Structure 1
Amino acid sequence: MIYSESHPGENQTISDVFILVGFSNLDKLQIVLFLVLLVTYLVALMGNLLVILLIKLNPSLHTPMYFFLVNLSFLEICYTTSVVPQLLIHLLVEQKTITIVGCAAQMYVITIMGLTECCLLAVMAYDRYVAICHPLSYKTIMSGRACAHLVGASWIIGISVEVAQITWIFSLPFCGSNRIHHYFCDILPVLRMACMDTSKNEIMVFTVSVLLIIGPFLLIILSYICIISTIFMLPSVEGRNKAFSTCSSHLMVVTLFYGMALITYLGLKSSFTLESDQMLSLMNTIVGPVLNPIIYTLRNKDVKGAFRKTVEKSIFSHNQRKQGMKDRVN
């Protein structure tokens, strides 16, 4: 692959780096943006790690729904970590560069995590469908092996599709300016730097995105149509409320994920400035990882109960150790 920093008509010079323009125009706000992003990233990191630890430490949460939630939190950690730490560094330095290999690696992680999350949200919707529409067969259908296969399939789809797509993108010849007008290596900004007409390639990328992102979304919609139909047939109000509560957290996460994605990538981007496009992408990068753990903890009695038990157990163990040390001293 040949990458050039030269302008048309000049001799091309080979370069092994891209320049991420990012938020370079916000000179006076970069420190403020750095502090906001740092706090937000730490909240997202700690929130998702807390969810994983709570589920791992509490046997009462070792169920299919929470097994999927562990994978979702892991995806969120990987996704936001692939973008935010680099952005934080670039907000403090003048040379906002990234190597070609680093750019490709970042794009691999971002796209794989994004597509895998789409598939995983569809799997979680299927889990809720089985739990509400086929409760007597739930343990049989959603066995440990079945859950592992469903999660494995989500990862296989995400990895195989995006590895093929990103490898193909980075096999193209790049020339001209090596400046990427974004704060991370997104597909379209990089693809448009190729030394060839990429309109057909962009159509292919869009088609793959529609099929593999809208496809899981349609499965989610179908699952919830069946779920809502079943809930309305339940005889008691208490039963309907309980069924709705088991789905509400997942439904909020799905709405947040697809809502942000639609606003960011399909929301009449021609009417936005470059800066507003980047701000929308940034919101898409950090909002989900921050809010998803909050949604699943504040709206879930099981998780809140597990958190309370874990804290009480930690305090009890700490007090026991202190008492043991006092007894040894005496």
Structure 2
Amino acid sequence: MATASLPGMGIRSLESTYSRLGILLIAPAVLLLIATIVYPLLYALWLSLNSVYTPTQQSTFVGLANYRDMLGSPTFWFSLWVTIVWTTSTLILQILCGVGMALLLNEKITFRSAARSLVLFPYFVSTVVAVLVWRWLFNDLYGLLNQVLLELHMVDAPVNWLGQMPNAMISIVLVGTWKYFPFVVIAVLARLQTIPLSLYEAARMDGAGPFGRFFDVTLPQLKEVLGVVILLRIIWDFKEFDLLYLMTGGGPVNQTRSVPLLVYQQAFGLNQMGAASTSAVGMMVVMGVLMAAYLYRSQRTRSHDASR
């Protein structure tokens, strides 16, 4: 009986060894996750419950007072509205431009390989370099854009693109679209190349024209990848800081100040680290609600499609 139990004991011992080895192998990744995500998140939550003076880090526990002030602050709600306008406008233009460019690059056009490489240029160029170029183009005194518009007699005087509304918001939306639409192109183009040609042939035989093939074949095939792209772009655009800060700094008169810019101003301009952490937590909650709603809707759509 003792001899018969040895193989079982050996298997259990081997499984235990492999389990310990697995824990040991993933331990560095877990520690890194805790150090870079969990600890800063918990620390931000703790700071939001305190009144903290940034230079000295002296703090006084105030409980939920920061949250009460934030919810009653018109400044926070206006910054949230600016963030939503920026995110929505940029996302819509990115999707339209990205899908359109991907459809074009999927066709057999001249210099298609070169065009596919060049379209990625805005996404990989440094944000600082891109902003410097665009600020020069938008300059109201010697900017190239105003010079072209004046030469074409489309305007009678130079346009102040970054110093007044709504020009400032339009400008940063256009720059954001130019900078980030190549990400949509990459994702959509990769999916387009995997769509079976037999689907298009069947659609042609049924008498579908170009628009019919797009809405009946291409768009349904792109639904999954567009869902992922939209979710990622919402997250990244909602928390965008460097492009907005370098383009307008939140001006004119804080009309383009998003929540990330508000957090920066509170933390390092007003030296109110506690209030800044509270605004950051509020932004995180809004993003969490948006992502949860989107994922819930996507799950219901997949369940509905699977039951059909």
TM-score by length of 2: 0.29
* Higher radius of gyration, 1 or 2: 2
Per the normalisation by structure 1, the TM-score is: 0.28
